[in-house]
Amino acid sequence: MELKEIVLDNKISLFYIHILQINTVASGVLVKAGTRHEIWPKEAGIAHALEHMRFQGTQLFPTSRDISALIEDDGGVINAWTSGEGTFFWQKIPATAFAKSPLLLSQQLLHPLIPEKKIATEMQNIVQEIRMVKDDPSHFALREFGHLIYSGHVLSRDVLGTEESVTSFTRPDFMNFSDRLYFGQRMRFIVVGNVPELDVVRSFNSYFHDVKASDGSLEENTGNLKTEKREVIHKRQIEQVHMVVGYLLGAGDARSVTALSVFANMIGGGMSFPLFQTVRDKHGLCYQIDCSVDKNKDCSTFYIYVGTNPAKYRDAENLILQIIKECKNNRQLLERAKSLVLGRLSMSYENPASIMQVMAQQILYRGHPKTKVEMIREIESITIGEVEEAVSTYLSEIYQNTLIVGPESLA
């Protein structure tokens, strides 16, 4: 199950893992073209909107139904996502039907129709997506927390854009963004599953031989981050408080961020860990409480989300802060968290799509995916001293950012 980096004839890297024990294969094309590369406000949300339009027909598959049916008729799954850092087009399909994957990916990436007659309809679908997020208080809270914690940086931008910008997009807008960012040096290919290396290389060399090489800019938009204590409250016609408590971290590949990723599992790895046991099981303050780390190329965040009683949301917040302080030097929790992370890593290797998604994220924030052995060694090597230092340095109350969405009567 060795991770290989293969440089194709077009000079683009293909990351490949051959897994003999399964009968499926996951394939994808990652493009470093995300929200941070947009020109705001005119292009707000265009990276995500262009992802949608690449499902609206290609030269060989002229309709959205043709595109989806090619994969789904063999029982496969086809999808894509866009983030602040990039866009990822991917499929999972029986290994016997693998030849369809690079063919369709090349059509979507190199030969999309971007049909003018479909733009207005598809942009209205995105408008509904924007409104859906606004109507869901937990999603709205997490989105607004992103605006808050990354304030001053391009990662604070909403991936979906705005209703005004999305409904203004024209075909020339999409083609301009595509020409500016969809070229070889910004692309990476990923294949994980039971397909021989020779077949993979031949297919991607054949279908992607005419990809543009390097006639665009690799410059990244950034911004100025603010490391200060902030709290924002949104009042709406809802019953619960949806609260996100978080902190700004360094680059996604920093050792301290890895230590804090382990710490997130030390306190929030599951129902037997302190956040659930204390805030929910002992005090009855919530139904859902989650802890996570969002990793990006130049900055990351550690955050905890909780949905709680409006009369006791400060109690929930104080308990969260207490847990952070009390658990940062708990060796037993560290060992439990390591076992949890390593066990879940092992189970993820039963699903090629899960492996592929992790690889895509790692390419975005560190430029290169890690091998399974590298990930295991990295987790095993984290010490309680590193965890305690990272928590003390980054998860200080003086840097705490809190986003609260609550009822209009919230005190």
Q: How confident is the model at residue 259 (pLDDT cuts 50, 70, 90)?
A: very high
Q: Rounded to whole angstroms, how far apart are CA atoms 352 and 87?
A: 19
Cut 0.85: pTM above it: yes
Q: What percent of the chain has pLDDT over 70?
A: 97
Tens of pLDDT, residue by residue over 298-345, are: 999 999 999 999 999 999 999 999 999 999 999 999 999 999 999 999
**In the prediction, which pLDDT does 222 show?**
65
Q: Rounded to whole angstroms, how far apart are CA atoms 81 and 102?
A: 18
Q: Rounded to whole angstroms, how far apart are CA atoms 349 and 364?
A: 20
Total Cβ atoms within 10 A of residue 325: 12
Q: How confident is the model at residue 219 (pLDDT cuts 50, 70, 90)?
A: low
If DSSP codes are grouped into helix, strand and coil, which group holds residue 360?
Answer: helix
Tens of pLDDT, residue by residue over 307-316, are: 999 999 999 9
Check pLDDT > 70 for residue 221.
no
Helices and strands (H, E) in the chain, number of each type: 15, 11
Q: How confident is the model at residue 395 (pLDDT cuts 50, 70, 90)?
A: very high
What's the Cα-to-Cα distance from 244 to each of 33, 254, 275, 290, 317, rounded to whole Å? 28, 23, 14, 10, 9
**In the prediction, which pLDDT does 210 show?**
87
Check pLDDT > 70 for residue 214.
no
**In the prediction, which pLDDT does 213 show?**
66
**In the prediction, which pLDDT does 198 show?**
97
Check pLDDT > 80 for residue 382.
yes
Torsion of CA 259, 265, 267, 272, to 10 degrees: -150
Tens of pLDDT, residue by residue over 353-374, are: 999 999 999 999 999 999 999 9
Check pLDDT > 80 for residue 60.
yes
**In the prediction, which pLDDT does 216 show?**
58
Tens of pLDDT, residue by residue over 85-119, are: 999 999 999 999 999 999 999 999 999 999 999 99
> Which tokens sit at 224?
């100025």
Q: Rounded to whole angstroms, how far apart are CA atoms 111 and 100?
A: 15
Sort strands 401-407 and 230-236 into parallel, antiparallel or unpaired: parallel
**DSSP states of 209-250:** TT---S-S------B----S-EEEEEEES-SSEEEEEEEEE-
Check pLDDT > 80 for residue 224.
no
Check pLDDT > 90 for residue 26.
yes
Amino acid making up residue 366: R
**In the prediction, which pLDDT does 57 show?**
98
Check pLDDT > 90 for residue 220.
no
* pLDDT (mean) for 162-167: 98
Check pLDDT > 90 for residue 176.
yes
At residue 90, what are phi and psi to the nearest 5 degrees?
Answer: -145, 160
Torsion of CA 324, 329, 332, 335, to 10 degrees: 90
* pLDDT (mean) for 221-235: 83
Minimum mean pLDDT range among 223-232, 344-353, 380-389: 223-232
Q: Which residues of 57-108 form beta strands (DSSP E)?
A: 77-82, 87-94
Domains delineated in the chain = 3-207 (3.30.830.10), 230-407 (3.30.830.10)
Tell whether the torsion through CA atoms of 68, 70, 74 and 79 is positive or negative: negative
Q: What percent of the chain has pLDDT over 90?
A: 94
Cβ pair 341, 259 in contact under 8 A: no
Q: Rounded to whole angstroms, how far apart are CA atoms 408 and 204?
A: 55
* pLDDT (mean) for 276-292: 97
